[in-house]
Chain A
Amino acid sequence: MELSVLRYHTLCFIIFLFTGVWALYEEDIGKFDWHIRSIGPMKFSFFDQTHHTNRRVIISSELSVLASVTLRSGDLVWRRSLEEYRPIDTVLYRESTLITVSDNGKVVRRWDPESGHLQWEMSSEGEYETNESYINAYLNETNKIILLTSTKLKYYSVGGHLLIHKDLNMEMDGAVAFKMSVLKSSIILLLYNSNSKSVNWVSMLNSKVQENGIIQAFDNFREEHCLLVGMRSIVCLDKQTAKFYVATLEQSEFIVYTLIDLHIGPIDLTEESCIQISDHFSKVTPRFYFILSANRQFILELEFSDNSIRIVQSFSSDNSLLLFDDILENNIIVFSLTSDFTNLSVRCYDLYNEAYIDSLEITLAMNRFSGSPVRAVPYLFYKKGQSIGYRIIVSFQDGSFSLIQQTGRISWTRDEALSDIVSAKFITLSTTEENTIYSSVLLDSATSTNPVEGFYRMIYSQAIYVRDRILHIKQIILEPSIYNETLHEAIQPVQSAAIFVTRLGKVYCIDSKSGLFLWNLYLPHLTGYLSSIYEDTCIIKLINTSPESALVILGHSNSPDYCNGTVSIVVNPLTGEYMPNYPSCLSYNISQSVQLEEDGKVVAIALLDSDNTIHIFPDTYSLQPDTRLFMYTADAQTGEITGHHFSTNGDDTFKHVPTWSFILPRLREELVLFSVKNSAESIYANARVLSDRSVLYKYLNPHLTVLITESRNERKPCVYLYVLDGVSGRLIHQLYHSNARSTVPPILAENWIAYQIINLKEKRQEFIMLEMYEGKTVNNASTWTSFANINVLVLSRSFILPGDLYTMTVTSTNRGITPKDIILGFGNGQLFSLPKSFVEPKIPHELSKSPSPEPAKSPTPKIPLSYQRVINYNKSIDRLREILVAPAELESTCSVLAYGIDIFHTQSSPSKSFDKLAEDFGYTLIIGVLAVFLVFSLVGSSISVYRKTNQNWC
């Protein structure tokens, strides 16, 4: 008995020992950072039916990303980002088997649809010719993957074995495969022999050739406009003559049908015209789609008896029209989706009964402008009463895709345009008028030199903020109707927002503190400027016009009909509403831009067009009488960097004087990378104190430019680096690395340049730091001139970089007091924050007379990248492209935004948060203690006065 009690107590004791143990700083996760994970515009989609409770949709995007999202909410379950240079050809899915075929059929992978794990991978790299192209792949009922490329036919088992490998090129005498049709185990291949202008067909059963034959091709025969209908007929469309050519496999020649025979024409075919066949059609009926134009489409049927074509149903709409189908047992239902941008309507056509099903027709309102639907994937199912139900995933031109329920409701929408960002920029927003005052006072307090005055202004601004908050809360209580979703904007006094321009023409404004979407715009005609060195960029500028500031986005137009030149978008940065009185199209192409400032605020942009003429944007801005502009343009093709000088002639026109040019040896070198110094950077110390107490002055040229060129000789890869002054064109420094390549844009900050090279000899990446000094005397003490002749002392040191560097940047803070960190973005999606002091060059002994050498923080040649320096912990960024940095309100912190497919924002504190109270700071305790002290001092002082008087008198 006693023993059992003892056991019971021991058990209780042991249970008490198990307490929750949490990882360090778990409460900090997501507190200062946000992470947006995207998939990309939808290309393939499947409804995953294996989970009855937790249904999912498998999606493959145009960015070679495979992902699974929940059917209920569209949340990401798993995501696999495949190689960008190996686009996904197709995705096959059947009953928990998920196969991707990538890179023109070279790589076949099987994935677990539940977890997204890779099950196997078959790669046939090296054995294919380069002109190999992917044709078709099937996953048939016997669970075999049949993969056809232009010259090869392969059978894979779902277990990952290559069963059969047929080289069609050898067997078929130079013919190239272009079509395949599969029905259970039998397949039919179509091959085209360009020499004999004939179409060869092969019928196979279990990869054994059963029959074959040759049909003579017609004149304008094009492989891509042919279909194999019903396993026995070939239908081709000749777009030039607008004729159909039909042949059964037994025949040797095509029979011609004109559109007039079909009672459609006479009509000219457009670019969009084509014929398509659905996988579902080929099994049941000899029918196919004929797309005449974007809003007129047909379903045609082939009569096997006489090879005649008849129209089954014609679909037409005033707006964009999309046809797609699904099969449920033997019912093939063709959906027609029409959209006039505000309403989507779905009609269902029963192909078996050749009639519309009116009960399934829905119309739903779109609450946003997304362009026309691009793709749609339906899923048919039986509802409880054996009636047919369906769900459709529709993807739109702006990259978003939505799930539409049969109830006429959009369940969810995923906005995927952010996966491909062209340009991004931080801007500062001030929401209300009071907050503008607040921010300006705060700014004044930051810039005022008198600390007492600064403190007073700080307190004053806080008082204004508190007053506004009280007023705001009062307003909410008195008039709750005004209180709406924009509360968030009102609460945050100074907002820093990030503007993103995506490749699909969508512009987003995201609050950089919380990651909330403030507004977005869809501009189908906007793309980035094609810069020859970097990928596309747009000009994003916030200009301070009265009464409110305007956000200007300038980009290239992708449609000459809409705008031949530059698309300009001017919106209110707070709401995203268009500002009136601004042109939407500029007739010139921009080659360079400079912002014009007044009192430290950007008021206009000077744009240089390709004819070296200056345009001022907005054109209502009146120039200062003596405006002088220095610009330079770089042409990667000719390798010429030209400096320009513009001065006003008293009126509003500019006089153009080419001032300098720097020509790279074009045959030897190719401009690959360049970086420009941010001239608005705030610098705290203009000198460095050495250990012998002497001072070494930094070379702080604000007009520096770094060019990195590579040798054109493939056998002798070389990296050349040039440091130029942008105003005078003076070559300040140059050096070269043999056996190297460079892929990451260099960093220019203060007096140093950091760049990366790939050392091809040692097969590693190297990080090189150059520091520029004026010497022991200061030359440009009061004013800076680029024309002063300064001998720049350059110190350098290189380090081994243990990782695959994709991009890098440097932190910047409000006043530049905080030491700088270099943020390195690696290929695995990690961001490392590396203190600059770790990679400083050694000061040579001649400069410092100190007996002991200058202390170096990093004695090893390898950069110490400990994993504690990863600022995005496990939130990695796939296909990292760029890191943006902007100073935050506090001196110690700066906002870091990195984007690739994903977007990640965090706050980096290079010197820890020295001007911030700790998170667990006891506000109540300190206020309580202060109050007690105050009361005690008041009471004590009165008591002491009383006692003193008594002492004096008694």
Chain B
Amino acid sequence: MSKELLSSDWRLVYEELQVEQKKLRKNYSTILLLANHLVTHNSRALGQNVWEVYESIVLASLDCSDYEITTSALSKLSARFPKSTRVLVLKGILLEAKGHSDEVLELYQEIKRNEPLNRECRKRKITVHKSKGQNKMAIQELCEYLSLFIGDTEAWLELCDLYIIELDLYNAGFCIEELILSNPLSYLNHLKYAEICYTKGEEYWDSAAKHYTKVLTLKPDSIRALFGVILTFYAIMKMSRQNLQSKEKRMVDWAKCKLKVLYRNSGNETGCRMLENTIQYFDK
């Protein structure tokens, strides 16, 4: 495929490169091939777009651990943009790849001092901390970052995950609350929040139940939420020792029926059997 493509018009190659870069699972070797071809043969035709292609070369070559190409591309970029932070960050990524984490942190600290609003550099710094296992430092940096860029929902989610790792469920819940406020119709945020609430303890089961049901209104066939409903309401029933005819019982029964229907419809027989076992386990 690539040979034919490479021999064709450069515009098609460029288009293919952009398509490849937009994929969630990037094939970095292809990207590297295409980008290298473009840079060697059509650098003039690309005009000012050539620098972005170099950047993709840098990232792709790092992924392929071909540091020679990375350094040559980086030298091109730094020659063209000597004062560019973006290039510095790329250099930092190279250092990261090589494992010089302390130098990288110094570099990032330097950039942060010069350009406090550079998100790229701050994010890289957080990842470096995270990769080093310095979760506390990462949380501190992330909090600092979020105080500047409050609308970055991915950062909130990352912070939430970090808190969960550190078992700081109250702060994790707060992060998810922020996310729910920013996007109230996303069932995932509700689900995560409900799970956090369920984990926090019996004081929060009511709100967990509320959020599980909210998930079910937003996405009626959410298996995870249905299991959550069953668990939460059993827990509430156990705690309050209510009779079996209460509304919680009805809710649990409804969730069980719904689960059975969903499993049956999926046609997975082992799944169905396992569900039966699980439900029996719950009932005990």
Residue numbers of A with Cβ under 8 A of B are: 945-946, 948-950, 952-954
Please state if B48 and A948 are interface contacts (CB–CB under 8 Å): yes
Enumerate 5 A-B pairs (CB-CB under 8 Å) in ascending A order: A945-B48, A948-B48, A949-B51, A950-B81, A954-B84
Chain B window 75-88, contacts with chain A (Cβ cutoff 8 Å), 1 for yes, 0 for no: 00100110111110
Q: How far is the CA of A948 from the CA of B85 in the complex (A)?
A: 15
Q: How far is the CA of A949 from the CA of B54 in the complex (A)?
A: 13
| Chain A residues closer than 8 Å to B47, beta-carbon distance | 945
Q: Which residue of A lies closest to B47 (CB)?
A: A945
Please state if A954 and B48 are interface contacts (CB–CB under 8 Å): no
Q: How far is the CA of A945 from the CA of B77 in the complex (A)?
A: 17
Q: How far is the CA of A945 from the CA of B47 in the complex (A)?
A: 9
Q: How far is the CA of A949 from the CA of B51 in the complex (A)?
A: 9
| Chain B residues closer than 8 Å to A953, beta-carbon distance | 51, 77, 80-81, 84, 86-87
Q: How far is the CA of A950 from the CA of B51 in the complex (A)?
A: 10
Please state if A954 and B51 are interface contacts (CB–CB under 8 Å): no
| Chain A residues closer than 8 Å to B77, beta-carbon distance | 953
Given A945-B47, A945-B48, A946-B48, 14 new contacts (CB under 8 A)? A948-B48, A949-B51, A950-B81, A953-B51, A953-B77, A953-B80, A953-B81, A953-B84, A953-B86, A953-B87, A954-B81, A954-B83, A954-B84, A954-B86
| Chain A residues closer than 8 Å to B86, beta-carbon distance | 952-954
| Chain A residues closer than 8 Å to B83, beta-carbon distance | 954
| Chain B residues closer than 8 Å to A949, beta-carbon distance | 48, 51
Residue numbers of B with Cβ under 8 A of A are: 47-48, 51, 77, 80-81, 83-87
Q: How far is the CA of A950 from the CA of B81 in the complex (A)?
A: 8
| Chain A residues closer than 8 Å to B87, beta-carbon distance | 953
Nearest chain B CB to A350's CB is how many angstroms away?
99
| Chain B residues closer than 8 Å to A950, beta-carbon distance | 81
Nearest chain B CB to A948's CB is how many angstroms away?
7
Q: Which residue of B lies closest to A954 (CB)?
A: B84
Q: How far is the CA of A946 from the CA of B50 in the complex (A)?
A: 12
| Chain B residues closer than 8 Å to A954, beta-carbon distance | 81, 83-86
| Chain B residues closer than 8 Å to A948, beta-carbon distance | 48
Q: Give the residue among A945, A949, A950, A953 with the most B Cβ atoms within 10 A.
A: A953
Q: Which residue of B lies closest to A947 (CB)?
A: B48
Nearest chain B CB to A943's CB is how many angstroms away?
11
| Chain A residues closer than 8 Å to B51, beta-carbon distance | 949, 953
Nearest chain A CB to B50's CB is how many angstroms away?
9
Q: How far is the CA of A954 from the CA of B81 in the complex (A)?
A: 7
Q: Which residue of B lies closest to A949 (CB)?
A: B48
Q: How far is the CA of A946 from the CA of B51 in the complex (A)?
A: 12
Leading 3 A-B pairs by shortest Cβ distance: A949-B48, A953-B81, A953-B84
Q: How far is the CA of A952 from the CA of B81 in the complex (A)?
A: 10
Q: How far is the CA of A948 from the CA of B51 in the complex (A)?
A: 12
Nearest chain A CB to B58's CB is how many angstroms away?
13
Q: How far is the CA of A438 from the CA of B47 in the complex (A)?
A: 42
| Chain B residues closer than 8 Å to A952, beta-carbon distance | 86
Q: How far is the CA of A950 from the CA of B87 in the complex (A)?
A: 12
Q: How far is the CA of A946 from the CA of B47 in the complex (A)?
A: 9
Q: Which residue of B lies closest to A948 (CB)?
A: B48
Nearest chain B CB to A889's CB is how many angstroms away?
44
Q: How far is the CA of A949 from the CA of B49 in the complex (A)?
A: 8
Q: How far is the CA of A703 from the CA of B83 in the complex (A)?
A: 86
| Chain A residues closer than 8 Å to B80, beta-carbon distance | 953
Q: How far is the CA of A118 from the CA of B122 in the complex (A)?
A: 110
Q: How far is the CA of A927 from the CA of B47 in the complex (A)?
A: 31
Nearest chain A CB to B112's CB is how many angstroms away?
17
Q: Which residue of A lies closest to B81 (CB)?
A: A953
Nearest chain B CB to A318's CB is how many angstroms away?
86
| Chain B residues closer than 8 Å to A945, beta-carbon distance | 47-48
Nearest chain B CB to A951's CB is how many angstroms away?
11
Nearest chain A CB to B92's CB is how many angstroms away?
15
Q: How far is the CA of A953 from the CA of B81 in the complex (A)?
A: 7
Q: How far is the CA of A949 from the CA of B77 in the complex (A)?
A: 12
Nearest chain B CB to A546's CB is how many angstroms away?
47
| Chain A residues closer than 8 Å to B48, beta-carbon distance | 945-946, 948-949
Q: How far is the CA of A948 from the CA of B86 in the complex (A)?
A: 14
Q: Which residue of A lies closest to B86 (CB)?
A: A953
Q: Which residue of A lies closest to B83 (CB)?
A: A954
Q: How far is the CA of A949 from the CA of B47 in the complex (A)?
A: 10
Nearest chain A CB to B209's CB is how many angstroms away?
49
Q: How far is the CA of A945 from the CA of B83 in the complex (A)?
A: 19
Q: How far is the CA of A948 from the CA of B49 in the complex (A)?
A: 11
| Chain A residues closer than 8 Å to B84, beta-carbon distance | 953-954
Q: Which residue of B lies closest to A946 (CB)?
A: B48
Nearest chain A CB to B144's CB is how many angstroms away?
24
Q: How far is the CA of A909 from the CA of B111 in the complex (A)?
A: 75
Nearest chain A CB to B207's CB is how many angstroms away?
45
Q: How far is the CA of A950 from the CA of B80 in the complex (A)?
A: 10
Q: How far is the CA of A952 from the CA of B85 in the complex (A)?
A: 10
Q: How far is the CA of A685 from the CA of B270 in the complex (A)?
A: 78
Q: Give the residue among B48, B77, B80, B83 with the most A Cβ atoms within 10 A.
A: B48
Nearest chain B CB to A469's CB is how many angstroms away?
38
Q: Which residue of A lies closest to B80 (CB)?
A: A953
Nearest chain B CB to A941's CB is how many angstroms away?
11
Nearest chain A CB to B276's CB is how many angstroms away?
58
Q: Which residue of B lies closest to A950 (CB)?
A: B81
Nearest chain A CB to B43's CB is how many angstroms away?
14
Q: Which residue of A lies closest to B55 (CB)?
A: A953
Nearest chain A CB to B164's CB is how many angstroms away?
36
Q: How far is the CA of A949 from the CA of B84 in the complex (A)?
A: 11
Q: How far is the CA of A945 from the CA of B49 in the complex (A)?
A: 10
Nearest chain A CB to B256's CB is how many angstroms away?
56
Nearest chain A CB to B6's CB is how many angstroms away?
26
Nearest chain A CB to B44's CB is how many angstroms away?
14
Q: How far is the CA of A952 from the CA of B54 in the complex (A)?
A: 14
Q: How far is the CA of A673 from the CA of B51 in the complex (A)?
A: 87
Q: How far is the CA of A946 from the CA of B48 in the complex (A)?
A: 7
Q: How far is the CA of A946 from the CA of B80 in the complex (A)?
A: 12
Q: How far is the CA of A743 from the CA of B81 in the complex (A)?
A: 92
| Chain B residues closer than 8 Å to A946, beta-carbon distance | 48
Q: Which residue of B lies closest to A945 (CB)?
A: B48
Q: How far is the CA of A952 from the CA of B55 in the complex (A)?
A: 12
Q: How far is the CA of A757 from the CA of B81 in the complex (A)?
A: 92
Q: How far is the CA of A948 from the CA of B48 in the complex (A)?
A: 9
Nearest chain B CB to A950's CB is how many angstroms away?
8
Q: Which residue of A lies closest to B52 (CB)?
A: A952
Q: How far is the CA of A937 from the CA of B66 in the complex (A)?
A: 43
Q: How far is the CA of A579 from the CA of B35 in the complex (A)?
A: 73
| Chain A residues closer than 8 Å to B81, beta-carbon distance | 950, 953-954
